[in-house]
Structure 1
Amino acid sequence: MIPNYAARIRALNDDELERFVKDWATRRTRDYVETQRWSGTGDMGRDVVGYVTRQRHEGDWDNFQCKQLSTRLSEREAFVELGKIFMHSAAGEYRLPREYTFVAPKGVVRNVQNYVAHPERFRQAFLDRWGELVAPGLVENQVVPLSPEIRDAIARFDFTSVHWLDAAGLAENEYAVPALVKWFAYDPGAAPAGVTPDLPQDEEAPYIEQLIGLYGARRNKTFADFNAALADPDWGEHLREQRTRYFEAAAFDRYYRDSTPPDYLATFKDDLYHGVVDTHRDQHADGLARVLKVLAQASQVSPAGILGHYAKVPVKQGTCHQFANEGRLPWRK
């Protein structure tokens, strides 16, 4: 049975929904330099915030207002929640947000959908219906009048930036995959195969230089350059295979960096490191013997978790070349 992730999002409690949304927003690195969760008393109408600049609330920011309700978000609730933004912005607590999204797993009522679809009608409704819908609901036991400052905030706000997102829309969002993996053990699938460029890339230089030095030591000669090593009848094919493995690992990293929480890839690499480090430290006949033994050991290591499940032998061996690049497990000591 295919898991229904929208249903699982609808089953989260208030606190869990906010944490899920923060995990989702945090992966929107092209949009935000930082995310923050404001919740509970004193949140001033903010649940999860994405800051567009390091100026945080003094620069552009987006608000995700989470409403885990038993039914769809009502018209009154939508007006009150957005009204809090106008009230607190008018009081100088923060700038008006660049974007405002109702995250309502069960959806929003038709009237709210219509207002979102008609931004200027929405703006006028705030002015016309403030006393009816908004004023009594902003502060407990108080009625907040439509002051000139609040009226100005409503006039300046871009109502085209108001959106709503239900559980299905959230589950299907491209940035939601890492959160689905973390919260519901979603299977991100296998990484695409790596593509090895014909010419060596700058990122490969450290491990390739180390390998070429070891080939030369084994052959008791010095290879003039990469092409000379590649033409060697004994070790040229070995060098080609290592480049293939390196780019298999690079493709693996890119895919799971985007599709799983940040600690998943780090944990995979730590497991692999600890699976080969003792072999690396052993005494060997020469440096090339160390490389061969470590790569053989890497093929036998079974890191835990979903990444370990999808890591084929070339990925694990290519990751060892990444360790050499980083100086974590250098091929030449």
Structure 2
Amino acid sequence: MRPIFENVPEPPSPPVVVTAPQGAPTFTPQQALAYIYKADDWEDFTVEWVRALGLWNGRPYLRVKRMGGSGDRGADVAACLTPQGTAGEWHCYQCKHYSKALTQSDARPEMVKIFTAKVLGEYELPTRYVFVAPKIGQTLDRLLLHPPKLREDFLEAWDKVDSKLGTDLDPAVRQAVGDLARQTDFSMFEAADIDNILELHATTPHHLWRFPKQLKPRPAAAPAPAEQRVDEAVYVQKLLDAYNEKYGLSLETLVQVREHKRINRQLARHREAFFHAEALRVFARESVPEATYKAIEKNLYNAVVDIEDRDYDCGHDRLDAVMDAATAHQPNPHNILAPVVEVIDLKGLCHHLANEDLLTWCKEESA
């Protein structure tokens, strides 16, 4: 049995910056999915939901692959549970985006495809086969809830003298497909509920981009911890270098800083800003695609980097100038995160940039 795809890295998704909604939304998510989305959009949306579903189930998929298109053999989205891909245990998500409700006459040809793929050695049968459609017809929905009746319905349509199912197959293959269907437990087939899909999709960063609305309230930032964390090492050292250069000191630790009240107060404010910005980053990670937060960070960097690159008498003067510029900076108002970005976040983001060696306070000045 050969897998339908090789074990190669999936291409990265294009970065997405979520913009603030303009006025009241015209459509609910259900309406947008049903009436605005096209088939390709529907499959992309399904991939996002399926990835979240694996995590929610406590058994994350090793790989989620969009397969839709000619030659997909009845699998629009393949979600694999083992390194063997579709040659091992996997779940099939069949995307159907019709203006009408999905019926059993729509479902049967897709069942034929997956049985045929097994007969031809393209896939193993999935342990779950899920129809994903904006609306499922009542009759099909009832059949999916009663697997023996679903199989009976399929075989009745398959065995009709004038059946159109599988008529394009080689007679031997069609016979094998029918035999496989008779031996298969049809409980593998099910349909996803659109409200449940949206409820889970709402927990992903993709949801706000697809269905713009106001952000949820941003939680208060936790105070800076008393002791320095490992991930503070770079920006704190750069601050100490600036203080040591200006005041002729040799401070190396926060304990030593506490002996100097003014410096201690300043460093405490810088650390508070760093952790405030860290809280913004976490909030953004849980609310919007990463590119939305990165756009805020890059916008700030572009606002301060030329100021940081000027000549100064000492590194502390450079630090002050950059912090003044950050305080005066206005994030792009079209970015949905802009309303929740505070002045303290902008200062803290400068320290995040310093942590990444994109900003430095003490450096050799040009002649």
**What TM bracket, shorter-length normalisation?**
0.7 to 0.9
Match of 2:206 in 1: 179
- How far has the Cα of 1:53 moved from its partner? 5.3
One-letter code of the match for 1:91?
Answer: L
* 2:353 matched residue in structure 1: 323
Q: Could you tell me which residue of structure 2 aligns to residue 102 of structure 1?
A: 131
For normalisation by structure 2, the TM-score amounts to 0.77
Distance 1:307 1:15 in 2: 28
2:242 aligned residue (210, 214, 228):
214
In structure 2, what is the Cα distance between the partners aligned to 1:103 and 1:222? 64
**Deviation of residue 310 (structure 1)?**
2.2
1:5 paired residue among 21, 25, 29: 29
SS of residue matched to 1:49: strand
Question: How far apart in 2 are the matches of 1:137 and 1:126?
Answer: 10
Shift of residue 203, structure 1, vs aligned partner: 1.3
The percentage of counterpart residues that share the same residue type is 25
Partner of 2:104: 75
Gaps of 5+ in 1: none
Q: Distance in 2 between matches of 1:84 and 1:275?
A: 56
Check the 8 A contact 1:45/1:65 in 2, yes or no. yes
The equivalent residue for 1:265 is 293
Distance 1:143 1:15 in 2: 34
Of 122-131 and 218-227, deviating more is 122-131
Cα drift, residue 306 of structure 1 = 0.9
What's 1:276 paired with? 304
Gap change, CA 1:211 and 1:28, over 3 Å in 2:
farther
* Alpha carbons 2:242, 2:315 under 8 Å: kept: yes
Change (3 A) 1:78 1:246: same
Question: Which has the higher mean CA deviation after the structures are superposed, 274-283 or 118-127?
Answer: 118-127
For the 8 Å contact 1:9–1:17, the answer to whether it is kept is yes
Distance 1:126 1:319 in 2: 60
Moved more, 22-31 or 247-256: 22-31
Structure 1 residues 235, 54: CA separation in 2 closer, same or farther (over 3 Å shift)?
Answer: farther
* Cα distance, 1:80–1:276 mapped onto 2, change above 3 Å: same
The letter of the residue matching 1:272 is: L
Map of 2:45 onto structure 1 = 20
Ranked by relative contact order (alpha carbons within 8 Å, sequence separation 6 or more), the top structure is 2
Distance 1:9 1:293, change over 3 A: same
Structure 2 runs not aligned, ≥5 long = 1-23
8 Å Cα contact 2:95/2:132 also seen in 1: yes
CA RMSD after TM alignment: 3.3
CA contact (8 A) 1:87 1:150 kept: no
Number of residue pairs aligned between Structure 1 and Structure 2: 331
Q: Is the 8 Å Cα contact of residues 158 and 178 (structure 2) preserved in structure 1?
A: no
Native 8 Å contact 1:25 1:35 kept in 2: yes
The 10-residue stretch of structure 1 (199-208 or 139-148) with the greater mean CA deviation from structure 2: 139-148
* Structure 1 residue identity aligned to 2:29: Y
Q: Is the 8 A contact 1:101 1:165 kept in 2?
A: no
Larger displacement relative to structure 2 (268-277 or 155-164): 155-164
- Deviation (angstroms), 1:240: 1.8
Closer, same or farther: CA 51–286 of 1 in aligned 2, 3 Å? farther
Supply the AA of the counterpart residue of 2:311: Q
Q: How far apart are the structure 2 equivalents of 1:183 and 1:174?
A: 10
Q: Which deviates more, 153-162 or 39-48?
A: 153-162
Give 1:322 shift: 1.3
Distance 1:119 1:163 in 2: 12
Asked whether the 8 Å contact 1:216–1:222 carries over to 2, the reply is yes
**What are the residue-to-residue correspondences of 1:21-36 with 2, within 5 Å?**
21-25=46-50, 30=55, 31-36=60-65
